[in-house]
Amino acid sequence: MDIKRAPVKNKRKYIYAGVGVAVVALLTAYIGTLEPAAPTVERSTLWIDTVARGPMVRQVRGPGTLVPEQIRWVSAVTAGRVEQIPIRAGAKVTKDTPLMELSNPDVQLELLDAQRQLASSEAELVNLRTNLETQRLNQQATVNTVKTQYQESARTASLMKSLGDKKLASSMEIQRSTEAAEELAGRLEIERQRLKVMEGAVGRQLSLQQANVERLRAISQFQLNRVASMKVKAGSDGVLQEMNWEVGQWANPGAILAKIAEPGRLKAVLRVPETQAKDVTIGQPASIDTRNGIVVGRVFRIDPASVNGTVTVEVSLEGELPRGARPDLSVDGTIEIERLDNVLYVGRPAYGQAESTVGIFKLDPDGETASRVNVKLGRSSVNTIEIVQGLAANDKVIISDMSSYDNYSKVRVK
């Protein structure tokens, strides 16, 4: 007869399951503490530089153009219609070279009217001088006549007095002759004063009329110059750079007709970033790359205002200009700010700014891996930057853009 047995519990199975769970938990915790696997970077795509110690030249760079030192803007003196344009931009000109010819009938009429008024005033001056001289001569004749009458009367009075002393003339006759002489003496003095006043007035009247003639002559000359200005000339030697006019167009007074520059005297106008322009001062040496040669120069002007994030710096060129140098030519300028002695420096990283701390990958001794280190940067230049802390001389660092590996502390270089 079969006897029913109670089942036996398998405790070993639960022990193994617990151990397995514990192992999985430990492995998960351990893996969580591991760093991500170092990614691999192609060496050919990296820009690796060596930290060096020694002198470092600080420079700033900015693009710009060559512009003439001397520019002459030719403007319209009077309004007019363009009738002729004998030359075009790019031609060499002298100060007497005709650029264009304008026409304006109103200006011609104003000149004719000014000349008419001048001629009329000059005729009035001649007539006034003639009339005044005639009046003076008549007055002089009157003075002479009265003088003769006075002398005759004085002789008569003297004769009558001598006859009266001899009892040959009455007292009435003597008194009559004396009074006549005195009357003519007074009249003679009056006529002389009248002549003096007339002579003084002649000078003043002639001066006033002469001044009016000179005023009208200046107006006539001004109108003549306006007419002459319609034959526009260069006014200086150089190259005609701009003259954007066509026959038939109307030019108003003050309109810019042409731009003339001296091609042999150029300067470089650079646009330096405002963050770097703070160290630029007048007199600093500079080199200008015309893409056909390097020209040395010096900073001679710094614009006081910033425009669109840049500061305009003007550089006078001291060396001989290379062939092909011309106004408005695009150039690159480099300005030397200062020289630093015995400093630690490296090539400027693509992502580092001056006076900041950045993470830079430094190659390990095996040369196959690079580890991130924090580096404090100092003063910067165009291509180099000062190392204040974090690196030593002869360290090799990656200065190309490594922003895509910000989450890794180490990379493999293959």
- Is the entire prediction scored with pTM above 0.85? no
Structural domains in the chain, CATH included, are 40-67+263-413 (2.40.30.170), 71-101+231-261 (2.40.50.100), 105-229 (1.10.287)
Task: Extract the runs of DSSP E, i.e. beta strands, from 318-368.
Answer: 330-347, 357-363
- Residue 220, Cβ neighbours under 10 Å: how many? 21
Q: Is the pLDDT of residue 28 over 70?
A: no
In one letter, which amino acid is 225?
Answer: N
Q: How far from chain centre, in Å, is Cα 140?
A: 68
Q: Contact, 118 vs 216, CB < 8 A?
A: yes
In a 13 Å sphere around the CA of 234, the CA atoms on its Cβ side amount to 23
Band the pLDDT of 314: cuts 50, 70, 90.
very high
- Residue 225, Cβ neighbours under 10 Å: how many? 12
Among residues of the chain, what percentage have pLDDT more than 90?
32
Band the pLDDT of 42: cuts 50, 70, 90.
confident
pLDDT at 41: 86
In one letter, which amino acid is 103?
Answer: S
| DSSP summary character for residue 319 | S
Band the pLDDT of 194: cuts 50, 70, 90.
confident
**pLDDT tens, position by position, 162-185:** 877 777 767 787 788 788 878 888
Nearest to 345 by CA among 388, 316, 304, 402: 388
| pLDDT, average across residues 221-250 | 90
Which residues does residue 35 pair with via DSSP β-bridges, in sequence order?
none
Band the pLDDT of 23: cuts 50, 70, 90.
low
Q: Is the pLDDT of residue 368 over 60?
A: yes
DSSP SS3 for 168:
coil
For 4, 52, 54, 358, 380, the CA distances from 344, given in Å and listed in that order, are 91, 6, 7, 16, 12
Nearest to 302 by CA among 277, 324, 331: 277
Helix (H) or strand (E) segment spanning residue 369: strand 369-380
For tokens 């030019």, name the residue. Answer: 251
Measured between alpha carbons, how far is 321 from 112 in angstroms, rounded to an integer? Answer: 52
Q: Are strands 410-413 and 40-41 parallel, antiparallel or unpaired?
A: parallel
Tokens of 137: 């001569």
Q: Is the pLDDT of residue 404 over 80?
A: yes
Q: Is the pLDDT of residue 81 over 90?
A: yes
Mean pLDDT across the chain, nearest whole number?
Answer: 85
Nearest to 151 by CA among 194, 184, 200, 174: 184
